[in-house]
Structure 1
Amino acid sequence: MIETIRAAFVIARRDFTAIIFSKSFFFFLLGPLFPIGIAVAAGGLGAQVSQDIDSPVIGVAMSAAESDRLLAAHAHLSGSLGTRALPELFVLDDFSGREDDIIATLHSEKSLTAIVTGSLAAPVLTGSERDVQRWQGKIALLAETALAQPAPVEIRTTFVEQTSSSSERNQLLTAQAGQAILILLTMILAGMVLSNLVEEKTNKIIEILAAAIPMDAIFLGKLFAMLGMALVGITVWSTMGLSVALLVGGNWAALPSPAVGWPLFCLLLILYFSMAYLLLGSLFLGIGAMATTVREVQTLSMPVTMGQLLVFFLAYSSITKLGEPVEWFAVLFPFSSPFAMIARAAQMDNIWQHGLALVWQAVFTIIIIRFSVMLFRRNVMKSGQAARKNGLLARITGK
């Protein structure tokens, strides 16, 4: 094991140095400029998920008669404005209306965005500043309709630090952003592993290396060399992005905070990117090892990209379904696990699950590397009849 690790380190250092100091690495660093434009154009992808996330519910704590009039006004306006234009109303029975009770209810009831108290003539809307400013106009419209008077109704507002509903929405936005960053970086960087061995196979260098070093070490070294190159690129892009953001300025405090906090979330983002890269990279390295020409690598690029998108869609569709079977499947399926777990980091504050997930993903990475090495030894590193087979499928299946 120690000799394999040492040999893998030699291969990783050799490949990493050759990539970093090559002329093409500069153009590689310019690569994300093109996907950024595509990502901006595809910004409407999360519209449906955003609708599921943003389902505001306003609690009504008024007298029974005024609550009924407000509900009737809501039903009347919903017919002309549409149900999505108005927040849902929920009547709170046996509610005292005291300020401490309002704050306690907002923090305990995750479904409530804000609470309206007082009377129809003088309503009081209590909630987070963002939610109150967003919905006070609609509540005033409902009160005016319920009173059937042309005079505007003045809404008094009371702000609380943050409600459970607004906190949940903010964490979901952070989960979406984390998954988008992971899939964008993985799609840009992991596919490069496909062509990693083609040149060395063509020049017979791989046979020389295989005669002196175990194939496990060669695969492991090349995989970690590509991961190191990817992390260098990410460091450069992050530095450039932060520099532009600092020059432009902005309200950093307004960024939605993940459940585990920003320092740990950023660390988990790096770790889960590394695991996503190693999982896909080990698979791509095994497939690429079967290819003998650049044309075969180009043929594989499209289905590989589609496979990455399907994995991302699986994890993305489970953001709003924590604890449901589809979300558990996304967590346990190795290739979607990093994306599903970064979403959990944004929404759940327990830390131990991330340790288990990282170990689970690392075990599957080792299994895939061993399987890829077995295929390579069986179908490539032997002469005779297998060496004369030209089809990629034949080399993979050994038939």
Structure 2
Amino acid sequence: MSDHDQAAIDARPRLSRLEAAWVIARRDFVAVLFSRAFLFFLVGPLFPVLVGGLAGSVGGQVSRSAVSTEIGLAMQSEDNFAMISAAEKLRPQLGRSIPNVKIVPEARRDGGFDARAFMDERKGNYAAIVTGTPTAPQIVGTRGQIDRWRGPVELIAATALQASPGTFPRSTSSVVASSAASERTNRIRTAQASQMVLFLLTMLLAGMVLSNLAEEKGNKIIEILAAALPMDAVFMGKLFAMLGVSFVGIAVWGALGWGFWALAEDAIVVITQTDFRSLPGPAVGWPMFLAFGIIYFSMAYLLLGALFLTIGAMAETVREVQTMSMPVTMMQLMVFFLAAYTITLPGSALETFAILFPLSSPFAMLARAALDETLWVHIAAVAWQALAAFLLIKAGSALFRKRVMKSGGAGREKKKRRLFNRSSTQHSSTQPAE
């Protein structure tokens, strides 16, 4: 190659950091997405879900066999006994379609019994309470329970009245709205469930970053990339490629879950004894909460992935990479416990620490979205998490270049030169003089 050609090659414009990151991200995304290992990766989590679903259905069947649904009666004494007798008469023929009707003890002691207040306080184990008379029964409960038990209650009332075939009493309903206490309880459950899903997805999917780095570090590809491109661009490209692959996996699992729900929605409601459509939503609303879920998953993934890449920079071998990742995994578990503990401590110093600490911040802020409708704090939190992820990427790339590229690549080159010079000297000294 002539000096002119070499000068032309050296004069070619180098890729910017964003362009280099895009090249690495596209390369890794396509390589992982169209590999056979990714197909097995998608199928792998379905087996624990299948086993868990089977175990849950067996446990639900046992619990349904042990505990029957109760409908409370708050009528006059003679009407209560007529309804109970009618239910006992119908149960041998219709089985579980007829609920277990039971007199509400509080209605006997207090002539001014308020069924709505009683249901709001969630006393007893009643799916609904029937008041009024068998001629005109009134069902008090949530919308899902009223829709479910309206027909059986009307059938029981018709049997109690010994009505002629084709004539049934028409019931009225009184829908119970969740009280403030029960609404907060349900929102806390939403916060806990969202934190658990976020933690499981992050730990399951962030491992792809570590495995990808360990593979390329073992076959020296990462050193070739680092010699040709800025190391922070390489790290950033790898992180966003694995994040894109993670979203593909989540989309596949979400589509399968949505299809299963569409096919077995009624069965799920019956098994769990819960109408999920009637549950109160998070404080910010479901659309905004789902958007925050996507954002905070991305932040949690980038933070943990950047930490894994930093570990890869400090490790000398693939075995060291795998060994050093275990303390980080255990630390992330402790961080999850910290964020989960602060759900019931809003405004405390511990919650503030969980929000400010980068690794726990996505979990704590997702829980806050379920409990508090304030939005500006999420903008500040996302900006802080993005800055922390950027700093981790810069630190990891600098550490990798310092430990691997200098001590590893350059060190090996110096060693090769010393060996070559030594062999050349020995060869020249052994040749006979002319």
The within-5 A match list for 1:1-399 is 3-34=16-47, 36=49, 120-127=110-117, 129=119, 131-132=121-122, 134=124, 160-250=176-266, 251-383=275-407
Residue type matched to 2:297 in 1? F
Residue type matched to 2:40 in 1? F
| Match in the other structure for 2:9 | none
| Match in the other structure for 1:150 | none
Please list the CA deviations of residues 15-51 of structure 1 after superposition, one character each: whole Å capped at 9, or x if unmatched. 00000001111000022235547978999xxxxxxxx
C-alpha change, 1:203 and 1:132, in structure 2 (3 Å) is closer
Contact 2:297-2:362 within 8 A present in 1 as well:
yes
Residue type matched to 1:11 in 2? I
C-alpha change, 1:310 and 1:377, in structure 2 (3 Å) is same
Displacement of 1:136 in angstroms is 7.5
Q: Aligned partners of 2:244 and 2:263: how far apart in 1? A: 29
Contact 1:202-1:292 within 8 A present in 2 as well:
no
- Where 1:181 maps in the other structure, the secondary structure is helix
Q: Aligned partners of 2:291 and 2:298: how far apart in 1? A: 11
Q: Aligned partners of 2:380 and 2:292: how far apart in 1? A: 13
Please list the CA deviations of residues 172-216 of structure 1 after superposition, one character each: whole Å capped at 9, or x if unmatched. 111011101100101101122123222323322222222221111
Contact 1:125-1:132 within 8 A present in 2 as well:
no
- Where 1:246 maps in the other structure, the secondary structure is helix
Residue type matched to 1:263 in 2? P
Contact 1:341-1:357 within 8 A present in 2 as well:
yes
Q: Aligned partners of 1:287 and 1:42: how far apart in 2? A: 38
Q: Aligned partners of 1:166 and 1:376: how far apart in 2? A: 52
Please list the CA deviations of residues 293-324 of structure 1 after superposition, one character each: whole Å capped at 9, or x if unmatched. 43223323432321121111000111111111
Contact 2:120-2:179 within 8 A present in 1 as well:
no
Contact 2:217-2:318 within 8 A present in 1 as well:
no
Q: Aligned partners of 1:329 and 1:38: how far apart in 2? A: 38
Q: Aligned partners of 2:280 and 2:15: how far apart in 1? A: 44
C-alpha change, 1:225 and 1:136, in structure 2 (3 Å) is closer
Structure having the higher Rg? 2
C-alpha change, 1:365 and 1:117, in structure 2 (3 Å) is farther
Q: Aligned partners of 1:40 and 1:386: how far apart in 2? A: 55
**Structure 2: segments with no counterpart, 5+ residues:** 1-13, 57-105, 128-139, 142-173, 267-274, 413-434
C-alpha change, 1:184 and 1:240, in structure 2 (3 Å) is same
Q: Aligned partners of 1:207 and 1:176: how far apart in 2? A: 42
Contact 2:120-2:178 within 8 A present in 1 as well:
no
In the superposition, the TM-score normalised over structure 2's length comes to: 0.63
Q: Aligned partners of 1:299 and 1:216: how far apart in 2? A: 24
Residue type matched to 1:257 in 2? G
Please list the CA deviations of residues 343-370 of structure 1 after superposition, one character each: whole Å capped at 9, or x if unmatched. 0111111111111111010000011011
Contact 2:231-2:398 within 8 A present in 1 as well:
no
Q: Aligned partners of 1:274 and 1:384: how far apart in 2? A: 33
| Match in the other structure for 1:74 | none
In the superposition, the TM-score normalised over structure 1's length comes to: 0.68
Residue type matched to 1:3 in 2? S
| Match in the other structure for 2:60 | none
- Where 2:114 maps in the other structure, the secondary structure is strand
Displacement of 1:167 in angstroms is 1.1
Residue type matched to 1:290 in 2? M
Identity of aligned residues (%): 54
**Structure 1: segments with no counterpart, 5+ residues:** 44-115, 138-155, 389-399
C-alpha change, 1:325 and 1:386, in structure 2 (3 Å) is farther
Residue type matched to 1:361 in 2? Q
- Where 1:162 maps in the other structure, the secondary structure is coil
Q: Aligned partners of 2:53 and 2:361: how far apart in 1? A: 25
Residue type matched to 1:209 in 2? L
Q: Aligned partners of 1:227 and 1:233: how far apart in 2? A: 10
